[in-house]
Amino acid sequence: MEGFLKAALASWEALPYILGGLWWTAGLILGAMALGLAFGVPLAVAHVYGGRLARRLVSGYVWLFRGVPILVQLYLFYFGIMAYLSELPALSFLPLSSGFFSAVVVLGLTSAAYQSQIFRGAMQSLPAGQLKAARALGLSDGQAIRAIILPQALRLSIPAWSNEYSILLKDSALAFTIGVLEVMARTRSVAAVTHQPLPLSILAGALFFFLTWAGIKTLKRLEAKVRIPGYAHQGTL
Amino acid sequence: MDQPAILRVENIVKTIGGQRILDDVSFAVKKGGLKVLIGPSGAGKSTLLSCINFLSPPDSGVISLDGKPVNGKSKKELLALRQQVGMIFQDFNLFDHLSAMENVRVALIKVKGLDKRAATNRAMEELARVGLADKPSLYPAQLSGGQKQRVSVARALALDPKVLLLDEPTSALDPELIGEVLTVIRDLADEGMTMVMATHQISFSASLADEFLFMEKGRIVERGAPAVLLSRNSGSRTQSFCAKLSELAGDASCEIAS
Amino acid sequence: MEGFLDFAVNRIIPALDAGLWTSVLLIVPASLLGIAIGVIVGTARVYAPRPVGKALDWYVSLFRGTPLVVQLYFWYFALPYVSIGGVNLVLSPMWASIIGFALCSGAYQSEYIRGGLLSIKRGQLRAAQALGMTPLTTITSVVLPQAFRRALPGCGNEIIYLIKYSSLASIITVSDLTGMGRSLAKSTFRNTEVFIVVGLYYLALVTVATFVLRAVEKRLELPGFETKKD
């Protein structure tokens, strides 16, 4: 016990440094969620309202990104694909050699696969009359989807979204493998210097646990705020 | 006439959440008898039935089967009692993962210890008895409400119960499906099955019951032969309750069928 | 530099086949242990007395609320610093991985088992009682067959997750599929090719597992217990 306390005190000095990693962790999650949303919505629309080919392509995308482990994707993009891409002058404006960039792309593309499934489920759970009524008012299909279907579907997706948030948060801890200085990376490097992995890994666990809890609380609040009267809560998909 | 009662219920009291659901209820059924429990919802009819087989054990009072008082503390006696007292639920409670035949068979194998083949034969017989010989392999999700309730009757009958308890067996059914279940119950009565039934089907049960027990607020407040209680100028609670029910239903069926 | 196909056949595939075996040796015991933990914990969370249930709720939210990589890090790097009676708790990389995966997976599995148990209607139990079934018979003949069918899709999904997350074992020096890929990539500098093939191996594993799980579900499917199409 005494040893543990000493170790904890020794690591205590490193706390500001480790907490500094939260910025990177937050950046990874926000970037990945945004990218996932930007890709996930069109994927879902294509799946629900597109033709056979579109559905095939979306299914293929989902199968691919759901089937390959995040860690392998991180290695593939950071050590492999991004190196190829950086030889293309047209892409020179992108920070292709940054680990953070690779991590956001990997987490975002994977999240897009999952988010597309969430939105698809939400869209398909809307009554068919919604689209019919919009068409009857003279809206084009595109307008109807943008103005009627998506606003409802996105609200319904929030519970599943909080699940997606906690998955992304946990996956973001893998970004240390490609050099992103987020919480896990800093925890490891401090532990390597101080030889105190025990209190440090507990600290890292506690930080992530708190972030999971706080994020889910926030999304619950958001859900209550944008809730449409008359729509029952949907469980996580 | 002086046959001893097969089932005797004496001074049953049951309190749930500080509320007295059953207050000193007593009655007895002879072999082949049919007692019908009538009364408004919340009168305690369902609770009384589930006290009889100790699904909800009474706080005090005595249940005797064949003249022998049941010791509610003994797990063994309880299991034995439940094998001899069949129960039909309002919402059927068929086992959702078993086919119609397996529903009837499961207790024969697991409780009575019959071998599979004998149990299957017996289950098929019971299904035939309720007119479902052609549907043994259908699952509850594939059966209509009326069919489900008939399977549940077959399931109870398969154990050769001495008494059958029926808890509003037709209340959860669509009107057009009630008839098929009532027919099965009538056949059972004609064959001499001893039954205690809670129901709102008053005119139907009047032709079968040997006694009506009218319950209100946990007590039996009126009892007697259907013909007496239902006669137009009896001024009985049963009569006015029945009149109200048939008014709501929009038909003038509150007459004695016979 | 040899072409991709030659490189894949001569170098990548032989290396990965060894890693594949290690991965399977991680995945199979970890998923079985995970299910066992899930069944015990899930059942206890529904039926055990309140304090036990509460404690297990904490176990589940702890293991679901922290990254698996942090957990592995704890089991492998931090645990040796804990000593009980002078004996330090040192786990081999394989054992740290299996235990880490199983405890994490078990937390998730227990959620599905719990959901399956809670989905059983009270009437089913009353009917079993009314027929004179003992509590044990009720559990084996009524509760478990129903709960298992309801929990199966979720449990299957969790196994798929476990297959993918088994790649984290490479972080604590296990030479599984990912670990072998990583060292080969390091020594040959042909990252893209190596990791594409590694990805294909996982895709194959996941696809085969999905197929098998679907087939099991299909076999056990009954009217009224259909799996919702996703």
Instruction: Give the Cα separation of B241 and B225 in Å (integer).
Output: 16
Instruction: Give the Cα separation of A102 and B128 in Å (integer).
Output: 69
Low-confidence ranges of chain B (pLDDT < 70): 1-2, 250-258
Q: What is the pTM of this model?
A: 0.83
> CATH no. for residue A30?
1.10.3720.10
pLDDT score of C222: 87
Instruction: Give the Cα separation of B150 and B127 in Å (integer).
Output: 8
Best mutation target, A58, A201, A237, to test chain C (most C CBs within 10 A) = A201
Please report how the helices C191-220 and C144-165 are oriented relative to each other, as an axis angle in degrees rounded to 10: 170
Number of helices followed by number of strands (H, E) in chain C = 10, 2
Domain count, chain A: 1
| Nearest-Cα residue of chain B relative to residue C137 | B110
Instruction: Give the Cα separation of B42 and B48 in Å (integer).
Output: 11
CA atoms within 13 A on the CB side of C178: 25
Helices (H), chain A: 2-12, 15-49, 52-67, 70-75, 82-85, 99-125, 129-136, 141-144, 150-156, 158-172, 183-194, 197-225
The answer to whether A205 contacts C165, with C-beta atoms less than 8 Å apart, is: no
In chain B, the domains with their CATH numbers are 5-249 (3.40.50.300)
Q: Count of CB atoms within 10 A of residue B256's CB?
A: 15
Residue for token pair 């001899």: B84
Task: Identify the CA nearest to B153 among candidates B176, B182, B174, B179.
Answer: B182
From the list C131, C132, C222, which residue is nearest B139 (CB)? Answer: C222
pLDDT score of A209: 95
Q: Could you tell me which residues come within 8 angstroms of residue A107 by beta carbon, excluding any fewer than 6 positions away?
A: A28, A29, A31, A32, A35, A36, A70, A168, A171, A172, A175
Which token pair is A69? 């482990």
Q: Could you tell me which residues come within 8 angstroms of residue C160 by beta carbon, excluding any fewer than 6 positions away?
A: C206, C209, C210, C213
pLDDT score of C48: 87
* Residue A82, domain extent: 2-225
Under the banding of pLDDT at 50, 70 and 90, the label for residue C162 is very high
List, for residues A53-99, the tens digit of each pLDDT value. 999 999 999 999 999 999 999 999 999 999 888 888 888 888 888 99
Task: Identify the CA nearest to B102 among candidates C134, C142, C152.
Answer: C142
pLDDT score of B247: 77
Task: Identify the CA nearest to B227 among candidates B244, B245, B207, B213.
Answer: B207
pLDDT score of B178: 92
Which token pair is C45? 């969370």
A218 pLDDT higher than 90: no
Q: Could you tell me which residues come within 8 angstroms of residue C23 by beta carbon, excluding any fewer than 6 positions away?
A: C166, C169, C176, C177, C205
Q: Are A174 and A25 contacting, i.e. CB atoms less than 8 angstroms apart? A: no
Is A95 a domain residue?
A: yes
Q: Are C167 and C177 contacting, i.e. CB atoms less than 8 angstroms apart? A: yes
Distances C187 to A69, A139, B90, C12, C182 between C-alpha atoms, Å: 22, 59, 72, 12, 9
Instruction: Give the Cα separation of A78 and A92 in Å (integer).
Output: 16
pLDDT score of C194: 93
Under the banding of pLDDT at 50, 70 and 90, the label for residue A52 is very high
Is A230 a domain residue?
A: no
C139 CB neighbours in chain B (<8 A) are none
Instruction: Give the Cα separation of B108 and C42 in Å (integer).
Output: 31
Phi-psi region of A63 (alpha: psi -120 to 50; beta: other; left: phi over 0): alpha
Instruction: Give the Cα separation of C45 and C136 in Å (integer).
Output: 18
The answer to whether A197 contacts C73, with C-beta atoms less than 8 Å apart, is: yes
C143-164 mean pLDDT: 92
Q: Are C35 and C104 contacting, i.e. CB atoms less than 8 angstroms apart? A: no
Angle formed at CA B201 by CA B197 and CA B206, multiple of 5 degrees: 75
Strand order in the sheet with B68-69: B19-30, B5-16, B60-65, B68-69
pLDDT score of A230: 62
Distances A116 to A39, A77, C125, C133 between C-alpha atoms, Å: 8, 22, 40, 47
pLDDT score of A160: 85
Best mutation target, C131, C133, C220, C226, to test chain B (most B CBs within 10 A) = C131
Which token pair is C11? 């170098």
Q: Inform me whether the C-beta atom of residue C230 falls under 8 Å from chain A C-beta atoms.
A: yes
Backbone angles phi, psi at B46, to 5 degrees: -65, -45
C16 pLDDT higher than 50: yes
A233 pLDDT higher than 50: no
Q: Inform me whether the C-beta atom of residue A182 falls under 8 Å from chain C C-beta atoms.
A: no
| Nearest-Cα residue of chain B relative to residue C127 | B93
Kind and range of the H or E run holding B141: none
Task: Identify the CA nearest to B199 among candidates B180, B175, B171.
Answer: B171
C122-129 mean pLDDT: 93
Mean pLDDT of chain A: 88
Is A234 a domain residue?
A: no
The answer to whether C134 contacts B86, with C-beta atoms less than 8 Å apart, is: no
Q: Residues of chain B whose C-beta is under 8 A from some C-beta in C? A: 50, 53, 55, 75, 79-83, 86-87, 89, 91-97, 106-107, 110-111, 138-142, 152, 155-156, 159
In chain C, the domains with their CATH numbers are 4-220 (1.10.3720.10)
The answer to whether C81 contacts A200, with C-beta atoms less than 8 Å apart, is: no
Is A147 a domain residue?
A: yes
Angle formed at CA A113 by CA A112 and CA A115, multiple of 5 degrees: 60
Q: Looking at A137-146, B112-121, C219-228, which range is the least confident one? A: C219-228
pLDDT score of A234: 40
pLDDT score of B88: 95
pLDDT score of A141: 84
pLDDT score of C230: 46
pLDDT score of A237: 29
The answer to whether A170 contacts C67, with C-beta atoms less than 8 Å apart, is: yes
C225 CB neighbours in chain B (<8 A) are 96-97, 141
C neighbours by CB contacts (3+ pairs under 8 Å): A, B
B107 CB neighbours in chain C (<8 A) are 131-133
Q: Could you tell me which residues come within 8 angstroms of residue C226 by beta carbon, excluding any fewer than 6 positions away?
A: none
Amino acid at A186: R
Q: Looking at A7-16, A210-219, B121-130, which range is the least confident one? A: A7-16
More confident site: B98 or A230: B98
Instruction: Give the Cα separation of A229 and A224 in Å (integer).
Output: 10
